[in-house]
Each structure stands twice: as C-alpha cells, then as structure tokens.
Amino acid sequence: MAKLTEAELKVVLDEMEGWSSLSNTIHRDFTFPGFRSAIAFVNRVADLAEAAGHHPDIEIHYNRVSLSLSTHDAGGVTEKDVALAAEIDLVAEPTAG
C-alpha cells in the first residue's frame, strides 16, 4: 500500500475530526472520565487492530490515551491507517476529545 502524499494527507485530515499529522503518523488524543474507561477504550482499539492486522502506537496516561498510526513498510500514513482511525472514532466514548 502506497504512502499518502502530503496533499492527500491534508485532504484526509481535514475530514477527520481530532486527528493530526505528527512525524509520519496520524495522531489523536482521547480523554475519558477515568482510568477504567480509558482502558476499556484501549481494549476496543486492540480488538479493531487485531482484526485489521494493523497496530497503533498507544500511550496511556491515567484517563488520557494517545494513538499514533503509521504503516511502517510504506514509511508513513496510508489508507490502511485512515481506515483504522475511522473505526477507532466509532468506538470512542462520547467524552473522548
């Protein structure tokens, strides 16, 4: 799968609320009411990632979860990352920001 061009990435990010470009990845921070809800979200993301065979970098800081997606073989962001980001958005709690 080919890496998105800068122009393609800009168009995609304009349509993806909360996601931004960060060091050859797409990145989003999510905030939850507490630790348990943050972990529940991470577990939902893990299920999606396993099903897609595509795994994000995940950082957990109590009630905050940071996700970064990149296709390492392509050297940056591909449609595979965009698709997984869209699925992640669907399982995020309404309090995620």
Closest Cα to residue 55, out of 64, 63, 46? 46
CA 47 – CA 73 distance, rounded (Å): 22
Whole-structure pTM value: 0.91
Structural domain tally of the chain?
A: 1
The CATH number given to whatever domain includes residue 20 is 3.30.1360.20
- Whether 97 maps to a domain, the answer reads no
Q: Model confidence over 62-87: pLDDT tens digits?
A: 999 999 999 999 999 999 999 999 99
CA 21 – CA 13 distance, rounded (Å): 8
Confidence check: pLDDT of 95 > 60: no
What is the extent of the structural domain holding 82? 6-91
Mean pLDDT of 13-35: 96
**Structure-block tokens of residue 39:** 């972990």
- Is the separation of the CB atoms in 19 and 26 below 8 Å? yes
- Whether 1 maps to a domain, the answer reads no
- Whether 38 maps to a domain, the answer reads yes
- Whether 57 maps to a domain, the answer reads yes
Mean pLDDT of 5-23: 96
- Whether 16 maps to a domain, the answer reads yes
